[in-house]
Structure 1
Amino acid sequence: MHQRLRSAPTVVYPESDGQPMAETPRHQQVMIDCMNVLRRHFYKIPEVYIGGNMLLYYEEGNPRKSVSPDVFMVRGVSKKELRVYKTWEQHPTLDFVLEVASPSTVRKDLGEKKELYANVLKVREYYIYDPYHEVEPSFIGFRLVGGMYEEIEFVNDRLVSEQLGLELGEHEDTLRLYDPMNGTWLPTSDERADAAEARAEGEARARQVAEARAAAAETELAELRAVLERLQASE
């Protein structure tokens, strides 16, 4: 009797771990703002991928080996949509990771995740930020040097990211990204929308003023013509 060959079972890599995106709206806003600002900053560079709040699998065939960085950046990966990140299909190491921390996560962020990011995923820069300042330290960064993390020192109250070419710091009571080349904080999506609305309103007001001036000039010209016609008629 011939024995049937059984195919290897299909390994399923879930797209969700059932956990919420963030603990609070403020945590969520920090994550969304950071991802959106980085995506816009790198949008002209094709091989820079910005992700976050997605499951990242780092051992093929073992879906239990996963982590979900709040925000991450990796070079060498196209900007195509990914539902999960598999290191053996995309890129085995990450360049930048940000975890938005809280009292319930900081021990894991500074312990288990820090070890994983340093020893397995070889994350070149790792940052932890607590928007409520409930943990100590509430803002810290590490750079991978010789296979070990070294704490990044603050310069002008900001942490310099060599991988991003930007600086991370607090501005208006939240985490922001600073461009040292331009000397400006990179605007969030809301700020860009507000600026666009303000420009549109300014342009509309300028058009109204120009139209009013043109109408006044036409009226004045018509009055001058009427005066001239009366003078000519009286001669």
Structure 2
Amino acid sequence: MTLSANQLKTEIIYPSSDGKPMAESDPARDYLIYAVEALDIYFQDRNDVYVSGNLFVYYKKGIPSAVVAPDVFVVFEVDKKKRISYKVWEEGGKVPNFILEITSASTQENDEEDKPKKYSLLGVQEYFQYDPTGDYLNPPLKGSYLFEGKYQPITSNFLPDGVSSFHSEVLGLDLRLIDGELRFFDPQTGRKLLSHKETEQARQEAEQARQDAIPRLLELGLSIEQIASTLSLSVEEARRFLE
């Protein structure tokens, strides 16, 4: 029996998971989720920016072992869509522009030595590392940019309140340590980027503050119409808060 060329061709499998846990500790998981969600919200109006984390990135077609799985990464000039893995050759050759690794005891050596070499060869423009516990990196937040094929350190700035801040040219954002916790900031507005949970919490707090303000403003003699205007509510919404 003669086999066709298609029958002789062995399908190459690119796994979407290695079966290992997403992160080994609560801090690593929490900051991974925060960074992915905060960046995804920040770039939500751009259809050419893909934000993901803990996803396999395959960079050589036909070689499944040529793979990395950054904790957090951002790719510009590709479609914003859901993926089970990221294959560079299917994305017009676009590799991550920004990568953040959450460093821990088990990943420190790999994050410090192997990954920078691999990411620089791939052409990743910026590589950041963050150690939530402060036990494995000094300083606990480090950034570098690619220059002539090698990573050069990004110098941190100390704000008037003593906060350490690194500017990412790729993202147009600042990475800051607030009481040891990593947070992204928009340097143009000074606004802190929030996760989905933080965004909802802020919304509820703002709504509660407005609700609490209405009785006090009524006691000061303002009409319901004046209160609605002051709190950027409709008259119906202001009345509803009093129910």
> Which residue identity lines up with residue 178 of structure 1 in the other structure?
F
Distance in 1 between residues matched to 2:65 and 2:217, nearest whole Å: 66
Q: 5+ unaligned residues in a row in structure 1: which ranges?
A: 215-235
Map of 1:218 onto structure 2? none
Maintained 8 Å contact 1:128/1:140: yes
Distance in 1 between residues matched to 2:185 and 2:176, nearest whole Å: 7
Instruction: Quickly say closer, same or farther: Cα 1:3–1:57, change in 2 above 3 A.
Output: closer
Larger Cα-atom Rg? 1
Distance in 2 between residues matched to 1:135 and 1:3, nearest whole Å: 56
Q: Tell whether 2:197 aligns with 1:190.
A: yes
Map of 1:38 onto structure 2? 39
> Which residue identity lines up with residue 187 of structure 2 in the other structure?
P
Maintained 8 Å contact 2:98/2:126: yes
Distance in 2 between residues matched to 1:9 and 1:146, nearest whole Å: 39
Map of 1:170 onto structure 2? 177
Distance in 2 between residues matched to 1:12 and 1:208, nearest whole Å: 64
SS of aligned partner of 1:169: strand
Distance in 2 between residues matched to 1:122 and 1:19, nearest whole Å: 27
> Which residue identity lines up with residue 111 of structure 1 in the other structure?
E
- C-alpha RMSD of the superposition: 2.1
Maintained 8 Å contact 1:37/1:186: yes
Per the TM alignment, residue 107 of structure 1 is displaced from its structure 2 partner at its CA by 0.6
> Which residue identity lines up with residue 24 of structure 1 in the other structure?
S
Distance in 2 between residues matched to 1:55 and 1:13, nearest whole Å: 9
Paired residues in the alignment total 214
Q: Tell whether 2:98 aligns with 1:96.
A: yes
Maintained 8 Å contact 2:186/2:193: yes
Distance in 2 between residues matched to 1:80 and 1:41, nearest whole Å: 16
> Which residue identity lines up with residue 64 of structure 1 in the other structure?
S
Map of 1:64 onto structure 2? 65
Q: Tell whether 2:20 aligns with 1:13.
A: no
Q: Deviations over 1:184-229 (max 9, x none)?
A: 3223333322211112223333456678989xxxxxxxxxxxxxxx
Distance in 2 between residues matched to 1:192 and 1:93, nearest whole Å: 30
> Which residue identity lines up with residue 10 of structure 2 in the other structure?
P
> Which residue identity lines up with residue 173 of structure 1 in the other structure?
G
Q: 5+ unaligned residues in a row in structure 2: which ranges?
A: 159-163, 223-243
Maintained 8 Å contact 1:96/1:125: yes
Instruction: Quickly say closer, same or farther: Cα 1:211–1:68, change in 2 above 3 A.
Output: same
Distance in 1 between residues matched to 2:3 and 2:207, nearest whole Å: 74
Map of 2:209 onto structure 1? 202
Maintained 8 Å contact 1:58/1:92: no
Per the TM alignment, residue 20 of structure 1 is displaced from its structure 2 partner at its CA by 1.1
Map of 1:145 onto structure 2? 147
> Which residue identity lines up with residue 193 of structure 2 in the other structure?
L
Maintained 8 Å contact 2:141/2:177: no
Maintained 8 Å contact 2:34/2:194: no
Per the TM alignment, residue 104 of structure 1 is displaced from its structure 2 partner at its CA by 1.5
Distance in 2 between residues matched to 1:211 and 1:169, nearest whole Å: 41
Structure 1 segment 92-171 matched on structure 2, within 5 A: 92-119=94-121, 121-137=122-138, 138-156=140-158, 157-171=164-178
Map of 1:217 onto structure 2? none
SS of aligned partner of 2:109: helix
Given the two structures, how large is their TM-score scaled by the length of structure 2?
0.81
Given the two structures, how large is their TM-score scaled by the length of structure 1?
0.84
Q: Deviations over 1:58-99 (max 9, x none)?
A: 111111111100000010111110110001011432210000
